């Protein structure tokens, strides 16, 4: 996959691989499809036809050049730039839901973690993700690929200040839960009634002090094993599952 970032943080990209292509076909975001000569996957060919796209056929050398030697499985596609939502759009959209749920990420820097978190957000019907416009990995090639298409179904807002975003959420009736090792409250024993926002911190440093201070409740996942920490994407999935299945 090749991504080019413009001044508005949008991402224009070339995806490759059969599953990534299938995840985008039907979204309206596929602009151009490249197939290796002799490509015969009936499912993908039917999906391309349904989308009204005319594939460009290339030989193997050209496909390898296009994808910079990536494992393309005979397919590649140009997709439209990723479009971030505004915080207001996420809040307004969530108001229509019975149990609004928003995730706040405080400086997640690993694109694999971010992509996996987006997958969990789609799985548990999270209404939106809030990230910072600095110190945080943006939506890029790896994030999109790891999300396996979930990026098309989860709203993401990029803000300049998380504390201000938290204040706006509180003004709209949200309770703010921060997941941190310093927490005293078991995540399983919370009610999560009403609009809920969950904060997850960076892989190395956790949640920043000011953001932590602006939360209402600091929760933790009790652990009984020999390792006292979890990967942030795993921890996020565990807590989101509890909130949604309370």
Going by CATH, does the domain composed of 87-244 fall within 3.40.1280.10? yes
* pLDDT > 70 in the chain, percent: 95
- Cα separation, 57 vs 35, in Å, equals 5
pLDDT of residue 82: 86
Length of the chain: 246
Cα–Cα distance, 26 to 52 (Å, whole number): 10
Average pLDDT over residues 116-124: 97
Q: Quick check: 116 and 80 in contact, CB under 8 A?
A: no
Mean pLDDT of the chain: 91
pLDDT at 10: 37
With b for 16 or more beta-carbon neighbours within 10 A and e for fewer, the 72-101 pattern comes to bbbbbbbbebbebbebeebbeebeeeeebb
pTM: 0.84
Non-local (6+) Cβ contacts of 99 within 8 A are 192, 194, 195, 196, 244
- Give the residue range(s) of CATH 3.30.1330.30 domains in the chain: 2-79
Statement: residue 125 has pLDDT above 60: yes
Q: Is the pLDDT of residue 75 over 50?
A: yes
CATH of 2-79, picked from 1.10.260.40, 3.20.20.210, 3.20.20.10, 3.30.1330.30, is 3.30.1330.30
Numbered ranges of CATH 3.40.1280.10 in the chain: 87-244
Q: What single DSSP character describes residue 80?
A: P
Closest CA to 94 of 241, 197, 200: 197
* pLDDT, position 68: 87
Rg (CA), the chain: 20
């Amino acid at each position: 996959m090749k991504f080019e970032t413009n001044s508005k943080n949008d991402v224009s990209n070339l995806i490759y691989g059969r599953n990534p292509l299938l995840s985008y076909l039907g979204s309206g975001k596929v602009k151009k499809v490249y197939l290796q000569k002799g490509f015969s996957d009936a499912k993908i060919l039917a999906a391309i036809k349904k989308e009204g796209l005319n594939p460009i056929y290339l030989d193997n050398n050209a496909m390898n050049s296009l994808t910079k030697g990536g494992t393309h499985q005979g397919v590649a596609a140009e997709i439209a730039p990723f479009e971030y939502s505004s915080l207001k759009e996420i809040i307004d959209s969530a108001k229509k839901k019975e149990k609004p749920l928003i995730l706040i990420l405080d400086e997640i820097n690993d694109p694999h973690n971010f992509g996996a978190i987006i997958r969990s957000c789609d799985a548990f019907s999270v209404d939106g993700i809030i990230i910072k416009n600095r110190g945080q990995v943006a939506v890029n090639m790896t994030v999109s690929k790891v999300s396996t298409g979930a990026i098309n179904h989860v709203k993401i807002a990029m803000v300049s200040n998380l504390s201000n975003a938290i204040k706006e959420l509180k003004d709209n009736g949200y309770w703010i839960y921060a997941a941190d090792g310093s927490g005293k409250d078991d995540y399983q024993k919370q009610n999560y009634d009403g609009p809920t926002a969950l904060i997850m911190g960076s892989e190395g440093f956790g949640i920043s002090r000011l953001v932590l201070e602006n939360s209402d409740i600091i929760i933790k996942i009790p652990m009984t094993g020999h390792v006292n920490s979890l990967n942030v994407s795993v921890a996020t999935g565990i807590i989101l599952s509890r909130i949604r299945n309370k």
